[in-house]
């Protein structure tokens, strides 16, 4: 199993390098003069020349990328052009907020999607199945930012059950952290919940028709053992794929949701940088999102190895 993990890990590095170059290339193609954006509209030509030399903007594109990558490997992503503060430090301060939000959203989605998928599969074609399928269809149709706004208006302003903005660190007050993170996490989790539930339902229906499952029923095995041990473990493989892909996608979903709930995470940091044209911050945050996507795919591959030992080939 260790060799299996190392083989998958070795394939991650070239992917990160290629994707990081594409990010650098696309951002470099943005209109406008980066030196002018740093120095301001009133900067003199001497100042602009100095800025180009300092940031290597007078070098070819591949040389610029090499300087940027060499610094990024050392966790030096430059300074924000708006605040002049370290981008790496800004990401480090905001990353726990976004990570906690995504983890909570995944836990909520999985905790609800598994029973929904199992119940729908066990009662396929029934009214219960139809009602649950309708709910999952609504979750797929409603954008997360619309759901977030509805939560702010109904639960935050009208009912006042939970706070609608702000942030409390988990280390300071776990209960307060959960109160502030619950609504945005549910708004983000809705799509993942629906996708996982539908996929698990379809996989379970197919799995429960397999001969080995019927043999387990014939041997008198309990429903818990047949569905949980034989059925769920095999039906979970497609769901794990969906979970791995969607888990990294949740990072992109945080951009608007964090802004709506005034959470100081990477999403709101990226949105502010885009509006201000702060390229170092955009490059740094997008790089973190890319790495998260790659690591999520790696986690899916490792999960396959646990669910299906036949895949542990080196």
pLDDT of residue 186: 92
Per domain, the residue ranges of the chain are 34-74, 88-311
More confident residue, 64 or 181: 181
Whether pTM exceeds 0.85: no
Cα–Cα dist 116/194, whole Å: 9
Q: Over the stretch 11-44, which tens digit does the pLDDT of each residue have? A: 677 877 888 888 788 777 766 667 766 666 677 7
Q: Does the domain at residues 88-311 carry the CATH identifier 1.10.3720.10? A: yes
Cα–Cα dist 91/269, whole Å: 8
Q: Over the stretch 43-96, which tens digit does the pLDDT of each residue have? A: 777 777 887 777 777 788 888 888 888 888 888 888 887 777 888 899 999 999
> Above pLDDT 90, what percent of the chain?
9
- Spatial neighbors of 162 by CB under 8 A, at least 6 apart, are 155, 156, 179, 180, 182, 183
Burial 262-292 (b: 16+ CB within 10 A, else e): ebbbbbbbbbebeeeebbbbbbbbbbbbbbb
Q: Are 135 and 119 in contact (CB under 8 A)?
A: no
pLDDT band at 185 (very low <50, low <70, confident <90, very high): very high
Average pLDDT score over the chain: 79
Where does residue 265 fall: left (phi above 0), alpha (psi -120 to 50 degrees), or beta otherwise? beta
Length of the chain: 314
Nearest to 228 by CA among 199, 247, 207: 207
pLDDT of residue 94: 92
pLDDT of residue 203: 79
| Across 285-305, average pLDDT | 77
pLDDT of residue 123: 78
Q: Are 260 and 149 in contact (CB under 8 A)?
A: yes
| Across 262-272, average pLDDT | 89
Cα–Cα dist 185/260, whole Å: 12
Strand partners for 86: 79
Residue 309 has pLDDT above 70, yes or no: no
pLDDT of residue 225: 61
């Amino acid at each position: 199993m260790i060799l299996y993990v190392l083989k998958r890990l070795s394939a991650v590095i070239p992917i990160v390098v290629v994707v990081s170059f594409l990010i650098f290339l696309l951002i470099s193609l943005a209109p406008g003069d980066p030196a002018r954006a740093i120095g301001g509209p009133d900067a003199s030509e001497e100042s602009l020349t100095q800025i180009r030399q300092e940031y290597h903007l007078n070098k070819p594109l591949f040389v610029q990328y090499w300087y940027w990558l060499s610094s990024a490997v050392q966790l030096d992503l430059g300074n924000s052009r708006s605040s002049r503060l370290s981008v790496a430090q800004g990401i480090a301060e905001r990353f726990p907020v976004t990570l906690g939000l995504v983890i909570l959203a995944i836990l909520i989605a999985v905790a609800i999607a598994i029973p929904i998928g199992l119940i729908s599969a066990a009662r396929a074609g029934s009214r219960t199945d139809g009602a649950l399928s309708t709910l999952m269809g609504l979750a797929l149709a409603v954008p997360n930012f619309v759901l977030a706004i509805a939560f702010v208006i109904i639960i935050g302003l009208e009912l006042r059950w939970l706070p609608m903005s702000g942030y409390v660190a988990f280390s300071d007050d776990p209960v307060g952290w959960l109160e502030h993170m619950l609504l945005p996490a549910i708004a983000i989790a809705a799509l993942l919940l629906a996708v996982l539930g539908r996929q698990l339902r379809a996989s379970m229906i197919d799995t429960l028709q397999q001969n080995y499952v019927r043999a387990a029923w014939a041997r008198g095995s309990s429903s818990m053992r047949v569905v949980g041990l034989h059925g769920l473990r095999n039906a979970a493989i497609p769901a794990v794929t969906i979970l791995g892909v969607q888990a990294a996608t949740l990072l992109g979903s945080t951009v608007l949701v964090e802004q709506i709930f005034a959470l100081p995470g990477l999403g709101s940091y990226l949105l502010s940088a885009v509006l201000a044209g702060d390229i170092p911050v955009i490059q740094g945050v997008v790089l973190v999102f890319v790495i998260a996507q790659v690591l999520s795919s790696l986690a899916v591959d490792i999960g396959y190895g646990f669910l299906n030992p036949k895949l542990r080939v080196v």
